């Protein structure tokens, strides 16, 4: 799926605000918006894109960043959002899904429902050059009560948000241990088998990515991923499992802004105890979390007994890249999720995966499969 060049002639105007595709000239404004609009919880996090916002676009499929500005004051930045067009599995079939993310609204424009309403109305207009996705979806943190109250309320003129399922993001400390030899780095000769194997496993989940042989061959490290970052569990020529170590730190960063009381006072003492127990340590304020993603994880039924060993080996490989944290997103219903939580030290947070549909479109019917999008793409 090739990136789509935004058409600067396609804009959406409503309520004194202009919504338009972002270009390279908007890079500084986009990065500033991400830095200045953090996620406020017991730990304040900023999701940044340094040194260039667009280095983190088009990771797998096409993506589009949209800027909202006051029409009469073009440099008055209202906010932004992003859309991505992803190759996925839906109801066991290959499909294209649209993902909505990256929503940021600057403080002076927050709590204005018309901004949200007009932003949603701009999406079908600005994505007109795209192939129409089979479904749109998004992710909302389980504890993001403010967003859930608005988006799940069924308000007039807003799209319908319907819960498709929940996923859990597991965050593990990495382990710099001796190699076990359990996994082998993928080579170009492995591409057909890797693609077929992963897709067979991914069909069991909604919104799981679809691996394409051409995409695998194109990986050159530009987006932090090479073919050699895929690791395979093999018995001779038979593939039983796979995972990838996806390092996006060069263009996407998660930065700790601050901690709430009492953690801000107890962080040093907490880290001493965490070090003894092999748990995650808390970075200092304004420090980046040194994380990589354990992506495209799949195991055959016969390899389930090796599941923990495979993930532990993945965490060792992540440590070799200098990462302190390995992040893995799984369906909340996945047996692997429960197995890993029972054995490995971790932190976790839940995310609701919701389909999004507009008034003039039917909601996609999803049949009996848990959700498991690739968290490194969200």
State the average pLDDT for the chain.
Answer: 92
Residue 3 lies in a domain: no
Whole-number CA gyration radius for the chain:
21
pLDDT tens-place string over residues 259-285: 999 889 999 999 999 888 888 999 999
Conformation bin of residue 15: beta by default, left when phi > 0, alpha when psi is -120 to 50: left
pLDDT tens-place string over residues 49-108: 999 999 999 999 899 999 999 988 877 899 999 999 999 999 999 999 999 999 999 888
Q: Which region among 140-154, 194-208, 299-313 has the lowest average model confidence (pLDDT)?
A: 140-154
Q: How distant, in Å, are the alpha carbons of 38, 254, 298 from that of 45?
A: 5, 7, 29
Q: Give the span between the Cα atoms of 62 and 27, in whole angstroms.
A: 18
Share of the chain above pLDDT 70, in %: 97
Give the number of other CB atoms < 10 A from CB of residue 360.
6
Question: Pairing state of beta strands 135-141 and 160-173?
Answer: unpaired
Residues 68 and 188 in one domain: no
pLDDT level of residue 9 (50, 70, 90 thresholds): confident
pLDDT tens-place string over residues 164-173: 999 999 999 9
Residue 327 lies in a domain: yes
Residue 270 lies in a domain: no
Residues 307 and 247 in one domain: yes
pLDDT tens-place string over residues 171-227: 999 988 888 899 999 999 999 999 999 999 999 999 999 999 999 999 999 999 999
Residues 183 and 324 in one domain: yes
- DSSP for 111-136, written as a single string: T-HHHHHHHHHHHHHHTTTSPPPSEE
Residues 177 and 321 in one domain: yes
Residue that wins the pLDDT comparison between 278 and 342: 342
Residues 213 and 114 in one domain: no
Residue 325 dihedral angles phi and psi, to the nearest 5°: -135, 135
Taken as a whole, the chain contains a residue count of: 378
Residue 263 lies in a domain: no
pLDDT tens-place string over residues 101-131: 999 998 888 878 899 999 999 999 999 888 7
Q: Which region among 1-10, 154-163, 302-311, 335-344 has the lowest average model confidence (pLDDT)?
A: 1-10
Q: Which region among 12-21, 25-34, 79-88, 361-370 has the lowest average model confidence (pLDDT)?
A: 361-370
- What is the average per-residue pLDDT within 20-37? 94
Ordered strands of the 253-259 beta sheet: 43-48, 253-259, 287-288
Q: Which residue bears the tokens 């490194």?
A: 376
Residues 184 and 320 in one domain: yes
Is pTM beyond 0.85? Reply is yes
Residues 35 and 54 in one domain: yes
Residue that wins the pLDDT comparison between 155 and 312: 312
pLDDT level of residue 367 (50, 70, 90 thresholds): confident
Domain that holds residue 180: 171-254+279-349
- According to the model, what pLDDT value does residue 14 have? 95
- According to the model, what pLDDT value does residue 156 have? 84
Q: How distant, in Å, are the alpha carbons of 167, 264, 352 from that of 43?
A: 21, 9, 20
CATH number at residue 145: 3.40.630.30
Residue 261 lies in a domain: no
Does 1 have pLDDT greater than 70? no
Residue 274 lies in a domain: no
Residues 79 and 198 in one domain: no
Residues 341 and 365 in one domain: no
Residue 4 lies in a domain: no
Closest CA to 122 of 155, 154, 100: 100
Residues 80 and 141 in one domain: yes
Does 37 have pLDDT greater than 70? yes
- According to the model, what pLDDT value does residue 38 have? 87
pLDDT level of residue 6 (50, 70, 90 thresholds): low
Number of domains the chain contains: 2
Give the number of other CB atoms < 10 A from CB of residue 235.
9
Closest CA to 376 of 255, 239, 228, 209: 209
Residues 145 and 192 in one domain: no
Residues 220 and 307 in one domain: yes
Token couple for 370 = 């848990």
DSSP state letter for 202: H
């Amino acid at each position: 799926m090739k990136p789509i060049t935004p058409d600067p002639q396609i804009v959406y105007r409503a309520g004194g605000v202009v919504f338009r595709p972002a270009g390279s000239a908007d890079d500084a404004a986009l990065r500033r918006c991400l830095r200045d609009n953090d996620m406020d919880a017991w730990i304040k996090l900023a999701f940044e894109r340094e040194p260039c916002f667009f280095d983190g676009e088009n990771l797998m499929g096409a993506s589009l960043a949209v800027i909202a500005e006051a029409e009469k004051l073009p440099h008055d930045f209202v906010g932004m959002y992003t859309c991505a067009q992803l190759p996925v599995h839906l109801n066991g079939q290959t499909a294209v899904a649209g993902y909505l993310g990256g929503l940021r609204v600057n403080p002076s424009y927050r709590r204005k429902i018309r901004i949200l309403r007009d932003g949603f109305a701009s999406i079908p207009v600005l994505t007109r050059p795209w192939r129409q996705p089979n479904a749109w979806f998004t992710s909302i943190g389980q504890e993001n009560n403010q967003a859930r109250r608005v988006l799940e309320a069924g308000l007039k003129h807003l799209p319908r948000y319907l819960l498709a399922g929940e996923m859990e993001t597991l965050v593990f400390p990495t382990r710099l241990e001796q190699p076990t030899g359990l996994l082998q780095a993928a080579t170009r000769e492995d591409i057909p088998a890797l693609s077929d194997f992963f897709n067979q496993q991914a069909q069991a989940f909604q919104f799981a990515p679809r691996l394409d042989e051409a995409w695998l061959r194109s990986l050159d490290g530009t987006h932090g991923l090479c073919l050699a970052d895929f690791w395979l569990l093999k018995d001779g020529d038979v593939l039983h499992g796979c995972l990838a170590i996806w390092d996006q730190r060069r263009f996407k960063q998660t930065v700790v802004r601050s901690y709430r009381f009492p953690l801000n006072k107890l962080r040093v003492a907490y880290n001493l105890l965490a070090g003894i127990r092999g748990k995650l340590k808390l970075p200092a304020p304004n420090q980046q979390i040194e994380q990589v993603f354990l992506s495209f994880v799949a195991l055959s039924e016969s390899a389930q007994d090796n599941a923990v060993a495979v993930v532990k080996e993945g965490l060792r490989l992540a440590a070799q890249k200098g990462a302190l944290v390995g992040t893995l997103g799984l369906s909340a219903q996945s047996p692997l999720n429960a197995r890993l939580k029972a054995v490995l030290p971790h932190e976790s947070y839940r995310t609701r995966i919701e389909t999004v549909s507009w008034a003039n479109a039917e909601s996609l019917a999803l049949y009996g499969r848990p959700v498991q999008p690739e968290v490194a793409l969200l």
